[in-house]
Amino acid sequence: MSFVEYGDMIKDGDTAIVFLGHESMFPVKVQHGTVTQTKYGVIRHSTDLIGKKYGSKVTCSKGGWVFILHPTPELWTMNLPHRTQILYSTDISIITMMLELKPGSIVCESGTGSGSLSHALIRTVAPSGHLYTVEFHQQRAEKAREEFREHGVEHLVTVTNQDVCKNGFGVSNVADAVFLDIPSPWEAIGHAKSALKAEGGRICSFSPCIEQVQRTCLAMEEYGFTEINTLEILLRVYNVRTISLQIPDLGKAAEDNSSTGFDSSNPSHQGSPCANLQQGTVQFKSGVPLREVVGHTGYLTFATKS
């Protein structure tokens, strides 16, 4: 099993996603002799998982069933154990595009955190690219190394435990892109410039506060970066549902209907909005936004090395 190469069969040691529904799923490490408890009953790894195909429908001990999915960076983002606040697919997608990443790209990242963005970057630059990720916190760095090894991508990533603001990324003039998600990104702009290739490399900084963005932009200008711009991605979800509204009383509606020969008893007219005139309502499909939406995520600042 690898996050960058699809495997057909579930094997001992794999990380799989147990899918109970769109709002309910979780990762599990497949091991001989192990069982996993769900609300539908027990899943026995030896008999229910190992040797089965990914995407299989597995019946639990209580009669309910779940799907076993092959892991992807998108599914991992939704199910990973949170060690820090993470980036989600909405921001990850624009970061990948704006940094112009592709297979073979060299990327530097700080900090690693929970590894949400890291897995997406690795999948994008595979099979010949590489990710150099720096994490200040020792335990988080060790956990990230362990996860990358379990997920079959350790050959595509180098994890370093150090302070990027003081010691940099450990590489020079090789990176196609640099990503910063640290409290004071302006202190690492100089090291980011040193890590980027001689010309044309891209940099992105994620910050939740506009004051951080202001200081970062000033530092980028000081170090000669161009095409500096900041944006924020906000996702607004709509529910499509049937709405019933009263028909306004326009006075001559009934007379107009009779003059056009409308027959409400005719089966061919039952599906039209006019069929509801006697009830005084009409039904139609409408897109309704959620009552609560995310009002702020974070600011993404992009720039190019001149």
Secondary structure (DSSP) of 129-144: -EEEEEESSHHHHHHH
Helix (H, G, I), strand (E, B) or coil at 126: coil
C-beta atoms surrounding 183 within 10 Å:
12
55 is in an annotated binding site: no
114 is in an annotated binding site: yes
Is 56 a known ligand-binding residue?
A: no
176 is in an annotated binding site: no
| Number of Cβ atoms within 10 Å of the Cβ of 148 | 24
The answer to whether 14 is a known ligand-binding residue is: no
Residue 280, Ramachandran bin (φ over 0: left; ψ between -120 and 50: alpha; else beta): left
| Tally of CA atoms within 13 A in the half-sphere of 245 that contains its CB | 9
CA distance 267 to 26: 49
Estimate to the nearest angstrom the gap between the alpha carbon of 249 and the chain centroid. Answer: 49
- Phi, psi (degrees; rounded to nearest 5) at 232: -135, 130
Find all residues with CB under 8 Å of 41, minimum gap 6, and list them: 60, 61, 62, 63, 64
**CB neighbour list of residue 163: distance below 8 Å, 6 or more residues apart:** 136
Handedness of CA 193, 194, 196, 201 (dihedral sign): positive
Q: How far apart are CA 182 and CA 136, in angstroms?
A: 10
Residue 196, marked binder:
no
Q: What angle do CA 40, 46, 50 make, to 5 degrees?
A: 95
The whole-angstrom distance between residue 140's C-alpha and the CA centroid of its chain comes to: 20
Task: Please enumerate, by residue number, every residue annotated as part of a binding site.
Answer: 114-117, 135, 163, 181
Task: Please enumerate, by residue number, every residue annotated as part of a binding site for S-adenosyl-L-methionine.
Answer: 114-117, 135, 163, 181
